[in-house]
Amino acid sequence: MSVSETVELSVIIPVGPRHADALALYADYRRGLAAIGRTYEIIFVLDGPQENFARGLETLRARGEQFVVIGLTRRFGEATAIMAGFARTTGGIVVILPAYHQIKASAIGRLVAAVDNGDVAIGRRWPRAGGVLERFRRAVYHGLLGWVTRVQFNDIACGARALRREVLDEVELYGDQHRFLPYLADRHGFRITEVDVAQSPEDRFTGTYAPQEYLRSLLDIFTVFFLVRFTKKPLRFFGMIGVSTFSLGALWMLVLVIQRQFMDQALADRPAMLLASLLLVLGMQIFALGLLGELIIFTHARQLKDYHVAEIIHYSRPTLVEGEPKSVESTAKR
The DSSP symbol for 327 reads: P
Please say if the pLDDT value at position 324 is more than 60.
no
Amino acid symbol at 239 = G
pTM greater than 0.75 (yes/no) = yes
Residue of 183, 200, 201, 203 whose CA lies nearest to 192: 183
Look at residue 301 and tell me whether its pLDDT is greater than 60.
no
Domain boundaries defined on the chain: 9-229, 234-303
Going by their DSSP bridges, the two strands 312-315 and 161-164 should be labelled as unpaired
- Model pLDDT for residues 179-225, shown as the tens digit of each residue: 899 999 998 899 999 999 999 988 876 656 677 777 878 888 888 88
For the cut 50, the answer to whether the pLDDT of residue 328 exceeds it is no
Residue 4, pLDDT > 50, answer: no
Confidence of residue 272 (pLDDT cuts 50, 70, 90): confident
Range with lowest mean pLDDT among 103-112, 260-269, 323-332: 323-332
Residue 319's pLDDT is 59
Reply yes or no on whether the pLDDT at 80 is more than 90.
yes
CATH numeric code, 9-229: 3.90.550.10
With contact defined as beta carbons under 8 Å apart, do 231 and 188 qualify?
Answer: no
**Beta partners for residue 10, in sequence order:** 41, 94
Mean pLDDT of the chain: 87
Cβ burial, residue 130 (10 Å; 0-12/13-18/19+): middle
- Find, among 148, 218, 216, 161, the residue nearest to 194 by Cα: 161
Query: Which residue type is seen at 87?
Result: A
| The pLDDT value given to residue 287 | 92
